[in-house]
Structures are given as structure tokens and as C-alpha cells.
Amino acid sequence: MKSFDAIVIGGGQAGPFLAARMVERGMKVALIERKFLGGTCVNAGCMPTKTLVASARAAYVARNSAVYGVNIPGEIAIDMKVVRARAETVTMNARNGLIGWFAGMDGMTVIYGHARFEDPKTVSVNGETLTAPRIFLNVGARPVIPDLPGINDIDYLTSTSIIHLDTLPRHLAVIGGSYIGLEFAQMYRRFGTEVSVIEHGPKLASREDEDISDAIADVLRSEGIDIHTGVSDIAFARSSDGITVATDSARIDASHVLIATGRKPNTDDLGLDAAGVITDKHGYITVDDTLATNVEGIWALGDCNGHGAFTHTSYNDFEIAAANLLDGADRKLSSRILAYALYIDPPLGRVGMTEKQARASGRKIMISTRPMSRVGRANERGETKGFMKVIADAETKKILGAAILGIEGDEVIHGIIDAMNAGTTYPALQWSVPIHPTVSELIPTVLGDLKPV
């Protein structure tokens, strides 16, 4: 049996950085990764997909260049082999960077293999047994495949496998109208593929307020994406030239099907029962406000604990654990203000409560909205789709939440994220003097128009 000061299972966005901090403190750490260092973000999420989004936007701008007085003769062609290679290069650069970083650390042992608990202090991997007083789980999540008629008879894609396509689908059917599915839907439409989105619920991006969801649908429809919501029945069958997707309201002749119906944690094969670690009914590991599980000496970080399925929330889990365990701090998971983005174009930046959540909280609230067509930068760039929306507490004057669907919305939202984390009231932010011409300059105007509801 090999002994360590700590064992980290999973090489995503929380565990490796925590391992590195512990090594800096002179600890002996084992980092166990089943497949690739970097987790979902580096290998199948943020980095490759946003690289693909950038290629898709380049195609979109080229096709619409005449609007700006730039004439490009001939058809805009897509070389998917180059597109794919570019995304793979970004991934490999990041992955190899992590490999090189850890290789130079004394005290760090990187093991590739599948780890399972033998007891609360012991794990086995590749026939070896390792023990440590502290074990950190950062095992991530994977796509959910629903049990739909005919699904096992077709060759479907997931968010992991679609990034490796080097040919352009004739018609892509996207099953699931949430964040992952919508990004791929617009991306492939801009590459030139016919795209249909099929969503079981009554609206796209169901977490958002109805006006945001409607605006997202308008953006996608304006680019020629076929959207079906409220679909109760879906079945698949092979056809002579692809896949038939039959719903209760339509029949779609697709060449490819992307299943984007959510993700589930990679916790079902870790031997958690042997350690006594509790999970909820969805398989997420139950943690307290410090990310500790019910078993002393075991923590769960990142997607597998169900408290945010984002790279930045996973990294924040590392920050919380490191601060508390190594720096004597008292940071809490409950102090985190959730923020995220949807990377369609224009993007959606979101922070805090939705209007629906704010109304349900019983607070006296104020709301303001402004169309992006009122933003000088948006008009100058010819990108006026979307709007800004801010919700505030009428009594405390603090901002409760905001949504910015529009040009640079994923960047502009950070002004509000910072204000909320600092506890700044909206009147203080209202009297800031932003730079012109920027998208952010409309924020004081939006705040000045807050009205009680």
C-alpha cells in the first residue's frame, strides 16, 4: 500500500489546482485521472467548443460582409477538417501544458486509471492500493442518454463526440433545447448545415425567464434554425440516407442526431458505498457548505457535487477548499453568487436571480429592461439583437440579478457580477461614468430606469 498526504480523484478544473497547492506546502499528493487531464473544459467543453464557435462566427461574418461594404467573391466554404484540427490544437496545448506542469512538481504523482474506494481512506487503481487521510473527488459529469424509442438503433452524437466531426452534416437534429444543444445548433447552422432543435419543454433554455427564452428563440429562428418545443414523443429510425426523427408534431429527415438532454455525475462506479459517501437521487455527492461530504476526510468538488456545472464554479470550489484547508479561512459555498453565459451569438450573460425567482422570494422588487438597439456600440457594429434586464430589491437597493442577451453580453455582465459580490447598491453603480462607446455604458441608464413591480 502506498501512502500519501492527499489523494485527488479526477483531473478537472478543481482537483489539479488543489493538488498543486498542497504540493507547494510540502505534501505528497496522488492525482488519479481516468482519461485526460483538464476535465470536460479542456477536452470536451469550453475550450474546443468555443474554438468551434469562433470558426462559426467567422463564417457568419464572411457571409454577411457585404452589409459592411466588404465584398467577398464566391461562395464561403467550410473546411471541417481544418475547423476540427484548430479545436484539437487548442485542446492539446492546454492538456499538454498541464502534463508538463505536473511533471515538474516534486511530491506530485500522476496516475492514469480508474479509481475505486476500498474504504474511507483507501482507493485502488490499476491493481495498486493507495491510502491518504484526505481524499478529494473531482470526477465531473457525462452526457445523459434518454431511453427513447429507436435510440439504440442509430449512431447518435453527444457533446463529446460531435467536436470530432470532420465532415459537415446535411441536417443536424438537436435533441434538447438547453445551453449545450443551442450552442451546437447555431454553430452548425453557421457552418451551413440544416438544423432542427427538438425540446420537450414549452420553451428553450428553461432556466431563463420567458422573455429571455423567447428572445433566444428569435435569434436562432432568424438564422434559419427550425425549432420545435412542447414535444412529448420522440422516436428514431434508420432511413436510406440518414435518420428519421419522428415527433408528435413533425417528421425530420436528419443525417445526424445530437443528444443534448443534460449531464449526470460520474459517481456510479467509484465504490462510494465502500466509503459510506452519500449521494442524492440523481447521483450527485452531497456536500456541506465547505464541500465536505458526510464522511470525514472526503470532499467533493466540481460538477459531481451538483452545485454548478461550470468551469468557473468548479475552480471556485478549489478556491473554497484551498482557503479553508490551507489558509485558515472560513469560506462558504453558500456565499457564491451564481453567474454563467450561453454562448450563442449574441451571447447571454446571466447573474443571480431571474425575475421569476425574485418575484417568488416575496421581496419588493424593481425591474428595468432596455433593448440592445439603444446601445451605440451595437448599432455601430450592426448587431442590435437582444436586450438588457436588471432586477433589484426595492428596499435594500441591491441588485438581485441581471440578464444581458446581446453583443458582448458575456463580458458586460461582469460589471454587475462585481457590484453584486461587493454588495454595491444600484444607485452607487448608476452614477459611475462608463466609457463611450461601449456596451457597458448602458448599464447606468438601465439602472436609472428601475421601476417597482
Domains identified in the chain and CATH numbers: 2-141+264-335 (3.50.50.60), 151-261 (3.50.50.60), 339-452 (3.30.390.30)
Average pLDDT over all residues of the chain = 97
Contact between residue 390 and residue 212 where contact means Cβ atoms under 8 Å apart: no
**Residue 436 annotated among the catalytic residues of the structure:** yes
In the chain, the largest separation of any two C-alpha atoms, in whole Å, equals: 70
E strand spans, 225-364: 226-228, 234-239, 242-247, 251-254, 256-259, 263-265, 298-300, 339-342, 348-352
| pLDDT of 59 over the 90 cut | yes
406, 439 contact by CB (below 8 A): yes
pLDDT in tens, 105-163: 999 999 999 999 999 999 999 999 999 999 999 999 999 999 999 999 999 999 999 99
Would you place residue 321 in the very low, low, confident or very high pLDDT band (cuts 50, 70, 90)? very high
CB 367 within 8 Å of CB 422:
no
Q: Which residue among the candidates 171, 307, 312, 436 is catalytic per the annotation?
A: 436
In this prediction, residue 81 has a pLDDT band, given cuts at 50, 70 and 90, of: very high
Helix (H) or strand (E) holding 28: none
Do the beta carbons of residue 202 and residue 193 sit within 8 Å? no
H-helix or E-strand containing 184?
A: helix 179-191
Q: How confident is the model at residue 309 (pLDDT cuts 50, 70, 90)?
A: confident
Q: What was the pLDDT predicted at 22?
A: 98
